[in-house]
Structure 1
Amino acid sequence: MAQELQQPQIAKNKLQADTQLKATVSVNILLINAVINRKQGTTQVAVETAEPILKQLELELPMTDASQIEAAIAQELQLSHQNVRQLVRYEIVE
C-alpha cells in the first residue's frame, strides 16, 4: 500500500481554462426597436422586456438588411424568426 501511495498519479481529466460559457436567460419580450442607419451600415436594437431585473437589452448589429437583422436578433435572443417579425419595429435613418 505504501508503494501505491508513492506512485505519481496521472490525471485523466484536465480542466480547460480557455472554454467559454454562454448563459441563456428566458425573458418575456414586449417589443424590439431596430434603428437602421444606412449611412453607417449599422443597426441599433433595443429590446424591451417585462422583467423587473432586465428591463432593456441593447445590441449593435453591423448590417442594414431587414432579413439579416431579424436572423441575427432571432439567434441572439433564441427566438423564432416569426416571433422576431411580430415584435420588431423599424426606424430607418439616412
Structure 2
Amino acid sequence: MKTYYVYILECSDKSYYTGFTSKLQARVIEHQTGKYPDSYTHNRRPIKLVFHAEFTNPNQAIESEKQIKKWSRAKKEALINNAFENLPNLSKKKFKD
C-alpha cells in the first residue's frame, strides 16, 4: 500500500509552507536544494521539516493539506507542537466588542 504525506516546512523567514507528496525525503531535498526556482520555498531557504502526517488514501491527504493551508499560524504551531487540545479553541472566530 502506498503512503502519502502532508508536511509543513519552516522557512528561513519563519513562514510555513504546507505540501503533499508520496516521497517525503525526496521532496524535502528538492525544497532544500531549490530545485524549482519559482517555488515558494526557493528564496526562503534554508528550510526545516517541522511536521508530517502519513495517509494511505491520497484524497484524504490532499484534503488535509488544503485544510491546513487555510489555518492560522497559531493553529499550525499547535499542530507542529502536538498541542492537539488547543486546535478547537484556535478555530473559533474572534468577535470585536
TM-score by length of 2: 0.29
Q: Which has the larger radius of gyration?
A: 1
TM-score by length of 1: 0.30
- Which has the larger helix fraction? 2
